[in-house]
Amino acid sequence: MTATTQQLLDPKTAIYNEVLPATYPWARVIKKGQILRIVDLGGNQAVDFLVYNADDPSERYSAPDTIVNQGNIFVTTNSQLISNEGRAMMTIIADSCGRHDTSGGACSCESNSVRFGLDKKYQHACVENFLAAILPYGLGKRDLVSNINFFMNVPVSEDGTLEIVDGISDPGSTVDLRAEMNALVAISNCPQMNNPCNAYNPTPIQLIVWDAV
């Protein structure tokens, strides 16, 4: 894994700089060449992330195409997020954390009912956030696919055992993504408080966008 830091981008020159509260959804078109930075302000916060071709959203992030393309189930610096059409949608150009999960997917009301108890169906979940984020762009449930979880640690052992364990991101960890096409990014700042994916304590994140250099 390749943890790097990106010192070149000055938040003072950003075109967008907002804090997204814990548990909230977010969506924005990141134009080709623009750079999106996600800051894990509190540390160990799972940031559920989907990306669509803003000009034709039937082209979208594909988890298996991404991991097969790079031969590794984690994404980090230099990873390209590959679409279902085999094209690079975004490139991770800097990453102070070192690994991010591609296999755990998003929490939903329904999966929470199975994982944590039938009464948990009524809790807020990432699928709720994703739906709220993509609805204004004319997208819906059929557009939801397996997502990336930035700052989340899901190791898979050789016998297939898969665990969601404490994250490896510290407060202030960052990941920088450059859009390789006009990219509609949808984020759920994961509300999950039933497992260690965000240390049982959802915290805010910061989203910063710079124009193409």
Min CB(211)–another protein separation in Å: 31
Residues 6 or more apart in contact with residue 118 via CB below 8 angstroms: none
When asked if residue 104 is in the footprint of another protein (CB under 8 A), the reply is: yes
Tokens of 151: 């700052």
Tokens of 163: 């665990």
203: three-class secondary structure by DSSP: coil
26-34, 55-63, 175-183, 202-210 -> range binding another protein (CB under 8 A):
55-63
Which position among 17, 123, 155, 203 is part of the footprint of another protein (CB under 8 A)? 155
When asked if residue 103 is in the footprint of another protein (CB under 8 A), the reply is: yes
Return the H-helix or E-strand segment holding 113. helix 109-116
Spatial distance between the Cα atoms of 96 and 164, rounded to a whole number of angstroms: 20
Spatial distance between the Cα atoms of 144 and 60, rounded to a whole number of angstroms: 9
Of residues 34 and 101, the one with the C-beta less far from another protein: 101
When asked if residue 142 is in the footprint of another protein (CB under 8 A), the reply is: yes
When asked if residue 71 is in the footprint of another protein (CB under 8 A), the reply is: yes
Tell me which residues touch another protein (CB under 8 A).
Answer: 1, 58, 62-65, 67-68, 71-74, 84, 86, 99, 103-106, 108-115, 117-118, 121, 127, 141-146, 154-164
